[in-house]
Amino acid sequence: MHLPHSQNLPVPKLAASFANTSATYKFYWLLSIIEFVEEEQTTIQKKQLFARMISNAWYTVNYFHVSFGKQDVIQQAVQTIREQEKLTIDCKKTTLQTILENSHLKSTQQTLAHFNKNVPHWFLSPWFSKAKGENDTTFRNRIYSQSQNFENDCLYALHEDQITINPIWVEYIKANAKIIKDFIYWNLTLFLQVRNPSVPDIANKLIKPPFRGALTNQRKNYWDIVFKEVGTIECIFTQMPLAIDKYALDHFIPHAFVSHNLIWNLVPINKNFNATKSDKLPIMETHFDSFFKIQKTAFEIISHYSPKNKLLEEYISLFPDDSSTSGFNYNRFKENIQPLITIAHNNGFGYL
């Protein structure tokens, strides 16, 4: 993916800002700048930018548990701030921004201020090459000084507490904001996939979706049919009986990890338990056998009464060679589920 060309701007230098990236700060720094320019701000307080960086990474770290790498400062900052400010993982972005900008906690202020050591000036390194023998402090001071004159048509001028967007870049950013953000997310996805090789659907874990897809279709056209046939189903977690009008439909492997609503990962459970379960992982030794039994029974019922049901096709990813009732094999099902549970746990999802 490439940024839109401009005859008057050094766009290749902007694109080069993601070259040799070893941490996520460059992605979230530029993303935050673009968002503020979209909001008609061209002189932006650094504290606002640092708070926006945390806000933009919040859901990816706290809800989806995507790893940024052991040494990544943003991931550490998100986790530290959440604990110290006693915030929830679903805190709204605007609310989080306000809390961080106005926090009186010294620890939060220090966490945000830490980004000022390297982030603002290192991002401009494509515009300002480091001279031979120049130490980091001298290099930093030179970037600050030269950027204030917008030398080399750099993206912004650096000051102690704020940055000022170079006027020649403003219209380009506004006109191409969506493409630039897509460019950022594309590169961030590539960066995170390397660090999370077994985690599915990284691209859709970078922003908080406006809503999670409802399970109305899966309930009405699959599980309700099963209930009508069997009457009641025993909850795999509480062992309480469930009825067609009294059950919640839950993801066996948390939605926050798999990012899909495929029928083979859904199971009816007790409503009250579902309200407290959150994104905890099931225990394979305790819960899998009951889960498999319900899944197999449901598959057989739907295959009999509604053989053309489109939801049955979702089992192809588990049983690509044989999706008939005879091919609904315990070991094959478990071999697909177990690795996902293990990988999710390794990425920070806790067990029940």
Which burial class, exposed, middle or buried, applies to 159 when counting CB atoms under 10 A from its CB (0-12, 13-18, 19+)?
middle
Q: What is the pLDDT of residue 317?
A: 83
Residue 323: is its pLDDT beyond 60? Answer: no
Is residue 59 predicted with pLDDT exceeding 60?
A: yes
> What is the average per-residue pLDDT within 225-240?
97
Extract the tokens encoding 78: 């998100």
Summarize pLDDT for 110-148 with one digit per residue, the tens.
999 999 999 999 999 999 999 999 999 999 999 999 999
Q: Answer with the residue of higher pLDDT: 320 or 295.
A: 295
Section 173-183 average pLDDT: 96
Give the per-residue pLDDT at 54. Answer: 97
The residues with which 351 forms a beta bridge, in sequence order, are 281
Confidence tier at 210 by pLDDT (50, 70, 90):
low
Mean pLDDT, to the nearest integer, of 223-251? 97
Neighbours of 191 (CB within 10 A): 20
Calculate mean pLDDT across residues 83-94.
92
Report the predicted TM-score, pTM, of the whole model to 2 decimal places: 0.80
pLDDT value at 171 more than 80: yes
Q: How much is the pLDDT for 19?
A: 87
Question: What is the pLDDT, as a whole number, of residue 162?
Answer: 98
pLDDT of residue 155: 98
Q: Is the pLDDT of residue 102 over 80?
A: yes
Whether residue 347 is predicted with pLDDT greater than 90 in this model: the reply is no
pLDDT given at position 264: 96
Contact 253, 323 (CB under 8 A): no
pLDDT band (50, 70, 90) for residue 322: low
Number of Cβ within 10 Å of residue 91's Cβ equals 17
The DSSP secondary-structure symbol of 282 reads P
Kindly state the percentage of the chain with pLDDT values over 90. 86
- Whole-number pLDDT of residue 209: 73
> How big is the chain, counted in residues?
352
Average pLDDT over all residues of the chain: 93
124 phi and psi angles, rounded to 5 deg: -85, 5
Cα 106 to its chain centre, rounded Å, is 28
H/E stretch holding 268? strand 266-269
Give me the mean pLDDT over the 249-273 stretch.
94
Can you list the positions of beta strands (E) in 35-189? 43-45, 156-158, 162-165
Please give the average per-residue pLDDT across 78-97, as a whole number: 93
